[in-house]
């Protein structure tokens, strides 16, 4: 049996409801202009006019449902769409490699945009008909960086597990944390975040992307630069203006940790699947690591087409790179970062 773990397939899913930035700004002005000062309104217009984000997909029937959404309705919407989008992605990922839910022995789901107990995994077991003996885990609290720790756990689950198959799911309903006030964190959040899900199938067969090595870095003293905070019992996103500089340095450190494990250098890596945390963060990472615009094109494309969907977004980027083509032997670094402050990276190879 091949001892190496591979990502056999990747699938993504997003709600069909999509908005452009002009529509999003008009909605916010219509309902919240009385809460924003002239300076904030001017800054908001500048942010929404920036070309880095063009469209986002939201788990709503229409934007009006976000206005004074009751917390009970919000968690119900989160639950419905988290299960629905995850299911779509799982079915697509399994079908790509000729598998069914009957072939799956493990399931790991991560999210940070809603909390339910029991977790999303149990709803997926019921909806899709996974075995009631499946090993299932729900991960919370890693924010936008959650997809890579999810993969780390999946890989560990496959160690010594024979011909087992494990499914990794990242799903975020960022619109279920929607808030608006005269707060720059919320204005920026409402300009970049969208909803989506990803699923990947992992196995021992020598087919797909090999999970070669991983590394993680945590910087708890920078926790307040990127996190959710509770206000009046509801999640509010908190982003610091210093985040690009701080995140880029943590990202660079974890990449160096990762490459050192295999004696590699930055110039040895042809493909970079970065989480698109936003235009300024992408630019800061580029400058800190000396990457080219060509190496960040997939990241920028996903940000433009979907916005920042939190944890599953890095898989959208990786899928974009795979669609363009990775030659056998090429190295790829998959990297995500988020609340914590944390940064996680995986070294991949076809």
Walk along the chain (350 residues) and give the pLDDT tens digit of each residue: 458 999 999 999 999 999 999 999 999 999 999 999 999 999 999 999 999 999 999 999 999 999 999 999 999 999 999 999 999 999 999 999 999 999 999 999 999 999 999 999 999 999 999 999 999 999 998 999 999 999 999 999 998 878 899 999 999 999 999 999 999 999 999 999 999 999 999 999 999 999 999 999 999 999 998 899 989 888 899 988 888 899 999 999 999 999 999 999 999 999 999 999 999 999 999 999 999 999 999 999 999 999 999 999 999 999 999 999 999 999 999 999 999 899 999 999 99
Range of the domain at 170: 6-203
192 and 235 together in one domain: no
Q: Kindly tell me the burial class for residue 224, based on how many C-beta atoms sit within 10 Å of its own C-beta (0-12, 13-18, 19 or more).
A: exposed
* Overall number of domains in the chain: 2
Statement to judge: residues 199 and 241 lie in one domain? no
Phi–psi pair at 172, nearest 5 degrees: -140, 130
Residues 226 and 254 in one domain: yes
Contacts of 239 by beta carbon, 8 Å cutoff, 6+ apart:
184, 185, 188, 189, 225, 226
* Cis preceding linkage at 341, omega within 30: yes
Residue 180 lies in a domain: yes
Choose one of 203, 222, 257: the last residue of a domain: 203
Q: Name the nearest CA neighbour of 218 among 344, 43, 128.
A: 344
Q: Indicate the SS3 state at residue 67.
A: coil
**CATH no. for residue 332?**
3.40.47.10
In a domain, 164, yes or no: yes
Checking DSSP bridges between strand 271-274 and strand 234-239, what pairing results, if any?
Answer: unpaired
Q: Are residues 193 and 216 in the same domain?
A: no
Residue 38 corresponds to which tokens in the numbers above? 């002239």
Would 1 be classed as within a structural domain? no
Are residues 53 and 193 both part of a single domain?
yes
| Residues 41, 87 within the same domain | yes
Based on the domain organization, do 190 and 250 belong to the same domain?
no
């Amino acid at each position: 049996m091949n001892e190496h773990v591979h990502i056999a397939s990747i699938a993504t899913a997003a709600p069909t409801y999509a908005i452009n930035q002009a529509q999003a700004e008009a909605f916010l002005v219509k309902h919240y202009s009385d809460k924003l000062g002239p300076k904030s309104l001017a800054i908001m217009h500048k942010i929404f006019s920036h070309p880095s984000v063009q469209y986002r997909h939201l788990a709503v029937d229409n934007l009006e449902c976000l206005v004074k959404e009751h917390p009970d309705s919000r968690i119900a919407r989160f639950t419905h769409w988290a299960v629905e989008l995850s299911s779509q992605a799982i079915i697509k990922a399994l079908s790509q490699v000729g598998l069914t839910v009957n072939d799956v022995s493990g399931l790991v789901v991560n999210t940070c945009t809603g909390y339910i107990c029991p977790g999303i995994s149990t709803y997926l077991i019921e909806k899709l008909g996974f075995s009631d003996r499946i090993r299932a885990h729900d991960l919370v609290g890693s924010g936008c960086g959650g997809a890579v720790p999810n993969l780390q756990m999946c890989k560990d689950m496959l160690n010594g597990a024979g011909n087992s198959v494990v499914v990794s799911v990242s799903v975020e309903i960022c619109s279920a944390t929607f808030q608006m006030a005269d707060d720059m964190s919320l204005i920026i959040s409402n300009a970049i975040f969208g909803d989506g899900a990803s699923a990947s199938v992992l196995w021992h067969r020598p087919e797909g992307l090999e999970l070669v090595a991983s590394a993680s870095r945590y910087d708890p003293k920078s926790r307040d630069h990127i996190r959710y905070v509770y206000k009046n019992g509801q999640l509010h996103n908190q982003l610091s203006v210093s985040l690009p500089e701080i995140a880029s340095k943590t990202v660079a450190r974890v990449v160096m940790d990762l490459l050192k494990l295999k004696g590699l250098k930055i110039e040895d890596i042809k493909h970079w699947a970065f989480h698109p945390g936003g235009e300024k963060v992408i630019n800061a990472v580029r400058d800190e690591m000396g990457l080219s615009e060509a190496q960040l094109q997939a990241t920028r494309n996903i940000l433009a087409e979907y916005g920042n969907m939190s944890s599953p977004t890095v898989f959208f980027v990786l899928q974009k790179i795979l669609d363009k083509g990775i030659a056998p032997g090429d190295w790829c670094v998959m990297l995500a970062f988020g609340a914590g402050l944390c940064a996680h990276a995986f070294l991949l190879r076809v």
